[in-house]
Amino acid sequence: MTEELKIAMVAINKWLFHGWNYKVVPITFTTPGGVSVTPYVPEFLKEIKWTCHISHMLEKWTKATRSQNPDAYMARFYAELDHDNRLLLMEWVMNNYNGEKKLF
């Protein structure tokens, strides 16, 4: 097994475990319409410095969770992101999530 393959396997494993076990936290922000709201969201939604307003990202997350299939939330959310925000999400997961069952 090559080192590159091991790195890929570790990253995929981390991504999947994060999708099953992400932490939920409150976030307070003002919508573009001027309303202050405090929803509970996955920690990464709050922590990442997205390329757009947080309310837009929350709309994407809400759309991703409509299936009520938690195993698909992260994949559906990822599919809604543009290239730059996908990179931000992957980088955040790789740098901040360490709760996965280790492969090696």
pLDDT, tens digit, 9 for 90 and up, residues 23-63: 999 999 898 889 999 999 999 999 999 999 999 999 999 99
For the record, the structure tokens of 97 come out as 């999530």
Phi, psi of 25 (to 5 degrees): -135, 160
Which whole-number Å values give the CA distances from 100 to 17, 22, 93, in the listed order? 5, 11, 11
Query: What pTM does this model have?
Result: 0.91
Q: Where are the domains of the chain?
A: 10-96
Give 89's pLDDT tier (boundaries 50, 70, 90).
very high
Average pLDDT, the chain: 96
